[in-house]
Amino acid sequence: MRKIILFIVLSLFSFTLNAQESEKLSFVEIVPVEGVSSDELYNRAEIWIATAFRNPDKVTKYRNAENHQIILMPRLNFQYSKTVGKAAASGTIEYTMKINTRDGRYRVEVTDCYHNASSGFGLLTVDTVLTKCRLKLTTLKWEQQVWNEVQAAINREVLLLFNTLKQNMVIIDAGQSEDW
């Protein structure tokens, strides 16, 4: 009986520890594009990928024209701005980007953002303030500085990607605006 009670108490304890984990960082945008079919939006997304990335075949992990879905796994180079700890914090930020199209709209989602470096944070979360050291042999102040720069870098990258994608997906037909 004691073992059962101990097991239940430990299970509840581990459940509360998992409940306190931070929410992982993600970005989602749904954009209406009136009068455009899902096939045409899918084609526009394919064209955008070819222009937005140096090696589109390398970052594209999944394409399905029938389901109108594209999954990309790009990598952003990250350089820490300070000289102290630059080698440890500099590396890459990897993330997953999904583009889904439907008639009259598309959805773009960025998830699973990872900071990879010799002193990398791993999975990025929505936390803005770190309350304890996550890495070995570092200080909380240094980690907070790196954390802020990593989050700023991924925010800039996602904003740029979302804006350029929107420019390619929402094409205004110049022929319709002319009065003949």
Q: Give the pair of three-digit tokens for residue 73.
A: 């796994």
pLDDT band at 5 (very low <50, low <70, confident <90, very high): very low
User: What is the C-alpha separation between 168 and 43, in angstroms, rounded?
Assistant: 10
Measured CA to CA in angstroms, residue 107 lies from 6, 56, 97 at distances of: 47, 19, 10
Residue 38 sits at φ, ψ, to 5 deg, of -65, -35
Q: Are strands 105-117 and 75-78 parallel, antiparallel or unpaired?
A: unpaired
Measured CA to CA in angstroms, residue 69 lies from 1, 18, 45 at distances of: 53, 32, 10
User: What is the C-alpha separation between 59 and 152, in angstroms, rounded?
Assistant: 22
Q: What is the mean pLDDT of residues 78-94?
A: 92
The per-residue pLDDT for range 144-168, each reduced to its tens digit, is: 999 999 999 999 999 999 999 999 9
The per-residue pLDDT for range 9-40, each reduced to its tens digit, is: 444 444 444 445 789 999 999 999 999 999 99
Look at residue 85 in the predicted model and tell me its pLDDT.
86
